[in-house]
Structure 1
Amino acid sequence: MALSRFASAAALAAAFALVLAGCTNAAEELAAGDPTASQGPELPSEKISELAADPELQALLPEDVAESGVLRVATDPTYAPFEVYASDNQTVVGLDADLAASLGQLLGLRIEFVPSGFDAIIPGLSSGKYDLAMSAFSVTDERKQNADFVIYHQSGSGVAVPLGNPEQLSMDPASLCGHTIGAEKGTTQGMEILPEFSKQCESAGAAAIDIKLFPGTDKAITALSSGRVDGVVSGATGLGYQAKITGAFELAEGGDYASKPTGLVLPKGSPLTPAITAAMQRLVTLEPYEEAFAKWGVNPSNYVTAEQVPVS
């Protein structure tokens, strides 16, 4: 049962702590010797529509991949909502898992996830250990020097608000002027974005933003539940997922602020890149793409178009 708009701070803090458990480092949890450490709240289970294989896309596959019938996909399943272990601690689920499954269907290939530490993924690609990787990689100029990218998601900062968004907040600075807004200490949102927004408010003759910084985003969300802040600014994709899981708040509608692309990764110059690029360009126009985003609480503002998929 979803928490009500007026859920107690303690109840929301407990729910939020469970969400964060799905985003921690699995290796650290195991090292701590706590078998329940990686257990989080019940994960979304909606079914994504299946797609038929497309012969035109299959024709783009390298011969060895087409013959194997398998795509080996590296991922670090510690970062919900992109990838995380299901309750069996073996099955990889998440936005990336659902999108990879749809890509496999279009290409007539079976997806085989290979768990890996995040830092080891790109070196593993270069050595041929995997065919590609999906693990919420931000597309950066530095990474593009050593790998190919195919964009499937974009995200920046968003604002968490009480259900119904009574103050009509958004990532438009003008909507935040004069409001009390929370953020986590040390984050870009708390140290750069909100102070800059507040300056814009004052320059426009409006009241400054009353910025409240907390030791963790969970503490900021607890303050939101108790009415001590009007909104919380943090990463939009994470906030959307947390809102989906807890039902205790929502992510304000509208585009993200300072949005950046996320892409799946292939070895530099991979002969598989054209097929994956073309398949993703097709996928982002189909219902399963939207279904996967909705399932994992990711805002439609995080969609990309077919034109945004290729990376030069």
Structure 2
Amino acid sequence: MRTPKRLALMPILLLLGVTGCSSPVTTGEAAQTPASTPVVKVNEKAAALVPAAVKSKGTLVFAMDASYAPFEFFDTDNTTITGFDANFSDAVAAAMGLKSQKVNTNFAAILPGLQAGKYDIGNSNFTITPEREKTVDFVPFMKSGSGLGVKKGNPENLSMDFASLCGHHVAAQTGTVQALTDLPELTAKCVSAGKPAIDVQLFATQNDANLALSSGRVDALMADSVGVAYQGEQSNGAFELVSGPLYKPSELGIALPKGSPLIPAVTEAVNGLIKDGTYAAIAKTWKLPVETLMTPGA
């Protein structure tokens, strides 16, 4: 079952936004780099839950794919990983009385890397799905859905209605929920309706998918709506997010190895950051829609 696979946060209200942001496009854009992560006080409850072995090491290793702005991407020095997930990872570690080490790796390799013990935590805009919950545990902290990126002005009149996508070339990043679930579902609907299948084209990074769209090799791309909107704004008019309802809104979460002893401490740290406003402040810095954020319950 899904519920016991995720440790519950404090009571929260989850609302779905209708706009979002996304990853950097390979068009030489200069993403707006904000100030560093806000100063975070140690959450004594979270720190007390940190396993002794981790406490003695003093550092948490976070894996992320730095090709997905505004969540994680390389700063102008092409070395420093920045973005919402990067800042939030720093804050989570600080709340636990630890330092953070951010490691860039291919998105599809993060969850297997967690299982293999290469990283402590995966924080790379992960949609929580039953399939993923079979191999890792999640601490949820946001809600979003899939969005469709199209050429400026939407000349093909595409939308999340499957019928409009049948027979078109649509890109996605390998290993994402869009590649694994959303596009296969939409393609099956096309075939069932007697229409041409969607030509799904997968790319190793979101940057590659963005470039395929901006260069005309595909008609559209699917990714997290927040990413698509942000990346579209940074693309110098190459593409934009289609307006309208998102596809399959779902929770996003921090991933940990199944049964990790870090889960209680991470959960307490995330709760505290939501409660004290640090989480909302980081989200505001990166212009994330407030409707996608978790807020403390009454």
Which TM-score band applies after superposition, normalised by the shorter structure? Answer: 0.5 to 0.7
Mapped partners of 2:24, 2:100: distance in 1: 26
1:266 to 238, 250, 256: 256
Give 1:85's aligned residue: 74
Please give the residue correspondences for 1:10-159 in structure 2 after superposition, counting only pairs within 5 Å: 19-21=24-26, 40-47=28-35, 48-157=37-146
Q: TM-score, normalised by structure 1?
A: 0.60
2:272 to 266, 282, 300: 282
Amino acid at match of 1:40: G
1:241–1:296 contact (8 Å) kept in structure 2:
no
Task: Give per-residue Cα distances to partners, 1:237-278, cap 9 Å, x unaligned.
Answer: 123313653697997999855311221111110000111011
Mapped partners of 2:110, 2:210: distance in 1: 28
DSSP-derived class of the 1:51 partner: coil
Amino acid at match of 1:134: N
Task: Give per-residue Cα distances to partners, 1:201-234, cap 9 Å, x unaligned.
Answer: xxxxxxxxxxxxxx98789999xxxxxxxxx996
- Per-residue deviation, 1:53: 0.9
**2:245 corresponds to 1:240:** no
Runs of 5+ unmatched residues, structure 1: 1-17, 22-38, 161-170, 174-179, 196-214, 223-231, 308-312
DSSP-derived class of the 1:120 partner: helix
DSSP-derived class of the 2:140 partner: strand
Q: Check 1:76–1:221 CA distance in 2 against 1; reply closer, same or farther (3 A cut).
A: closer
DSSP-derived class of the 1:89 partner: coil
1:293 to 278, 283, 287: 283
DSSP-derived class of the 1:271 partner: coil
Q: Check 1:233–1:302 CA distance in 2 against 1; reply closer, same or farther (3 A cut).
A: farther
Asked which structure has the greater RCO (Cα within 8 Å, sep 6+), the reply is 2
Amino acid at match of 1:42: A
Mapped partners of 2:212, 2:74: distance in 1: 25
2:122–2:254 contact (8 Å) kept in structure 1:
yes
Please give the residue correspondences for 1:163-182 in structure 2 after superposition, counting only pairs within 5 Å: none
Give 2:14's aligned residue: none
Give 1:176's aligned residue: none
2:71–2:124 contact (8 Å) kept in structure 1:
yes
Q: Check 1:125–1:185 CA distance in 2 against 1; reply closer, same or farther (3 A cut).
A: same
1:159–1:251 contact (8 Å) kept in structure 2:
yes
Tell which deviates more after alignment, 114-123 or 52-61: 114-123
Q: Check 1:250–1:186 CA distance in 2 against 1; reply closer, same or farther (3 A cut).
A: closer
Q: TM-score, normalised by structure 2?
A: 0.63
Q: Which is higher, the Rg of structure 1 or of structure 2?
A: 1
2:146–2:247 contact (8 Å) kept in structure 1:
yes
Q: Which has the higher helix share?
A: 1
2:24–2:31 contact (8 Å) kept in structure 1:
no
- Per-residue deviation, 1:84: 1.3
2:33–2:75 contact (8 Å) kept in structure 1:
no
Q: Check 1:85–1:233 CA distance in 2 against 1; reply closer, same or farther (3 A cut).
A: closer
Mapped partners of 1:45, 1:80: distance in 2: 11
